[in-house]
């Protein structure tokens, strides 16, 4: 793991319907960060407002949540100057930490809009403290708000929430209380930029599951036909399994499968089909050892999928018959 942690939080503004810019729907107006050393000791802090370039008035919900006004932003540098100063402050050997998944995406979008040096050519590794909190203190699946997590851990509250500097500090304090071993192996990946080639695709192994992130495709069917995306490999040895239940879906966005490894037994796969901000379609797949009840759950999904397919075919036949009948009536 990197020598230092940069715990980052942003506040951003947006346009009203007639003024929204699709290239930068959320414009950063405040950057807050806390720097921790390898022992998770706070060694420095960064905070700066950002004078807007695109939106010259504060959106009403932004003002309500953050209490930031245009008057607060007066005298601040524009984003390129603040960003360069911030990256110099970060140093050379660090990993970003955020509460949730949005901050780095919006930071990278702002960087791209201003044509600055990108943080990464493709996916960017970081630690999602919100996810790690769930793995440490909760069920590993739920995602609590920052304020609720602070209350549960009985962290002393000083400054208000929904401000970049204070939220970064609260996030850092939560991170400092995490003691589980191997927790930081559960990296997250910001996907503002997808892998560009097959060789750049993400293959990550975590203590309890593996993750694969594909490059971008033009449509969903190409993802499903891709040999790597459609494979189901053993979590332990990485060899292809023999499908026990082929990929099945009930909504065309999430697919499930089970396969058997001769040496390590049953594996369960979960493939999500997603669309990136630029329209590219990609697959995000997780594989883990199957547990009791998985086969029954997937068999039910398989049954539901077949029933849906049967209903769809019947509906299409009825529509075809109705169209033919209408045509016959028109010429009779």
Nearest to 254 by CA among 182, 314, 319, 305: 305
Q: Are residues 203 and 122 in the same domain?
A: no
Give pLDDT, residue 207. 94
Give pLDDT, residue 22. 92
Q: Are residues 163 and 218 in the same domain?
A: no
Q: Is residue 245 part of a domain?
A: yes
State pTM to two decimals. Answer: 0.90
Q: Are residues 121 and 154 in the same domain?
A: yes
Can you read off the two tokens belonging to residue 181? 């071993």
Q: Is residue 227 part of a domain?
A: yes
Can you read off the two tokens belonging to residue 272? 């999500």
d(CA 330, CA 332): 6
Give pLDDT, residue 330. 65
The whole-number mean pLDDT for each consecutive block of 10 residues of the chain, a chain of 332 residues, reads 88 93 96 97 98 96 96 98 98 96 97 97 97 96 96 93 97 96 95 97 96 97 96 97 94 95 98 96 98 96 87 74 69 62
Q: What is the CATH number of the domain that holds 144?
A: 3.30.420.10
Give pLDDT, residue 325. 67
Supply φ then ψ for residue 157, to 5 degrees: -105, 130
Please say which residue of 163, 185, 207 terminates a domain. Answer: 185
Provide the residue range defining the domain that includes 213.
Answer: 195-301
Q: How many domains does the chain have?
A: 2
Give pLDDT, residue 319. 76
Give pLDDT, residue 223. 97
Helix (H, G, I), strand (E, B) or coil at 5: strand
Give pLDDT, residue 329. 66
Helix (H, G, I), strand (E, B) or coil at 193: coil
Contacts with 53 (C-beta within 8 Å, 6 or more apart), sequence order? 27, 78, 79, 114
Q: Is residue 321 part of a domain?
A: no
Q: Residue 98 pairs with which residues in a beta bridge?
A: 128
CA angle 293/294/300 to nearest 5° reads: 95
């Amino acid at each position: 793991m990197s020598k230092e942690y940069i715990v980052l939080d942003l506040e951003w503004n947006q346009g009203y319907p007639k003024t929204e810019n699709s290239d930068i729907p959320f414009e950063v107006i405040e950057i807050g960060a806390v720097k921790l050393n390898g022992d998770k000791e706070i060694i420095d802090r960064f905070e700066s407002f950002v004078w807007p370039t695109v939106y010259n008035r504060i959106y009403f919900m932004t003002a309500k949540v953050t209490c930031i006004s245009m008057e607060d932003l007066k005298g601040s540098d524009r984003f390129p100057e603040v960003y360069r100063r911030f990256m110099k402050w970060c140093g050379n050997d660090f990993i970003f930490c955020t509460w949730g998944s949005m901050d780095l995406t919006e930071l990278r979008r702002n960087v791209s809009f201003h044509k600055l040096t990108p943080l990464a050519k493709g996916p960017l590794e970081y630690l999602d403290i919100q996810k790690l909190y769930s793995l440490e203190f909760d069920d590993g699946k739920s995602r609590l708000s920052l304020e609720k997590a602070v209350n549960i851990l009985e962290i002393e509250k000083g400054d208000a929430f929904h401000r970049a500097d204070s939220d970064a500090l609260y996030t850092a304090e939560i991170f400092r209380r995490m003691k589980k071993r191997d927790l930081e192996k559960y990296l997250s990946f910001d996907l503002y930029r997808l892998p560009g080639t097959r060789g750049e695709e993400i293959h990550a192994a975590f203590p309890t599951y593996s993750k694969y992130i594909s490059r971008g495709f033009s449509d969903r069917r190409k993802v499903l036909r891709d040999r790597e995306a459609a494979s189901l490999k053993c979590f332990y040895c990485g060899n292809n399994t023999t499908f026990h239940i082929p990929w099945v879906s009930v909504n065309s966005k999430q697919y499930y499968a089970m396969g058997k490894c001769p040496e390590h037994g049953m594996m369960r796969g979960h493939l999500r089909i997603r669309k990136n901000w630029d329209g590219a379609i990609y697959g995000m797949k997780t594989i883990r050892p199957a547990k009791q009840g998985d086969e029954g759950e997937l068999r039910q999904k398989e049954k539901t999928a077949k029933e849906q397919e049967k209903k769809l075919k019947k509906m299409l036949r009825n529509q075809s018959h109705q169209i033919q009948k209408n045509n016959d009536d028109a010429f009779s």
